[in-house]
Amino acid sequence: MKKLKQKVIIICGPTASGKTDLSINIAEKINGEIVSADSMQIYKDMDIGTAKPSMEERKKIEHYMIDIINPDERYSVADFKCEAMKCIEKIVKKGKVPIVVGGTGLYIDSIYYGIEYNEIKTDLVYREKLEEIAKKEGLEKLYEKALEIDPIAIKKISKNDKKRIIRVLEIYHETGKTKTEQEAESIKKEKPYDYKIFAIDMDRKQLYERINKRVDMMIDQGLIEEVEKILKKYNTFPTAMQGLGYKEVVKYINNEYTKEEMIEKIKMESRRYAKRQITWFKRNKDIIWLNSSDKEKQMMEVLSKWMK
RNA sequence: GGGUAGUUGGGUGAGUGGCUAAAACCAUCAGACUGUAAAUCUGACCUCAUUUGAGUUCCCUGGUUCGAAUCCAGGACUGCCCA
Residue A9 pairs with which residues in a beta bridge?
A: A99, A196
Q: pLDDT value at position A301?
A: 96
Nearest nucleotide (C1') to the CA of residue A185?
B34
> Do the strands A7-12 and A97-101 form a parallel or antiparallel pair, or are they unpaired?
parallel
* Cβ proximity of A135 and A128 under 8 Å: no
| A156 strand B contact, CB < 7 Å | yes
| A242 strand B contact, CB < 7 Å | yes
| A259 strand B contact, CB < 7 Å | no
The mean pLDDT of A218-238, rounded to a whole number, is 96
| A163 strand B contact, CB < 7 Å | yes
Domains A7-116+188-306 and A124-186 in one fold: no
* Angstrom distance (rounded) from CA A12 to CA A198: 6
* Cβ proximity of A88 and A35 under 8 Å: yes
The mean pLDDT of A128-155, rounded to a whole number, is 94
pLDDT-derived band at A127, boundaries 50, 70, 90 = very high
| A161 strand B contact, CB < 7 Å | yes
| A238 strand B contact, CB < 7 Å | yes
- In chain A, where the domains are located: 7-116+188-306, 124-186
Determine whether A184 is exposed, middle or buried from the number of CB atoms within 10 Å of its CB (0-12, 13-18, 19+). exposed
**Fold type of domain A124-186:** Histone, subunit A (1.10.20)
Write the pLDDT tens digit of every residue in A36-57.
999 999 999 999 999 999 999 9
Write the pLDDT tens digit of every residue in A52-71.
999 999 999 999 999 999 99
Helices (H), A102-138: 105-112, 124-137
A124-137 and A139-149 helices cross at what angle (nearest 10)? 120
Kindly provide the ipTM of the predicted complex, given to two decimals. 0.92
Q: pLDDT value at position A2?
A: 53
Q: pLDDT value at position A189?
A: 75
| A236 strand B contact, CB < 7 Å | no
Q: pLDDT value at position A308?
A: 78
The mean pLDDT of A276-298, rounded to a whole number, is 96
| A187 strand B contact, CB < 7 Å | yes
For the domain made up of A7-116+188-306, the CATH class stated in words is: alpha beta
How long, in residues, is chain A?
Answer: 308
Q: Is A43 helix (H, G, I), strand (E, B) or coil?
A: strand
> How many Å does it take to go from CA A157 to C1' B41?
8
Return positions of chain B under 7 A from a protein CB: 26-42
> How many Å does it take to go from CA A158 to C1' B46?
30
Please provide the average confidence, as pLDDT, over all residues in chain A. 95
Nearest nucleotide (C1') to the CA of residue A74?
B36
Q: pLDDT value at position A159?
A: 92
> How many Å does it take to go from CA A228 to C1' B58?
49
The mean pLDDT of A197-222, rounded to a whole number, is 96
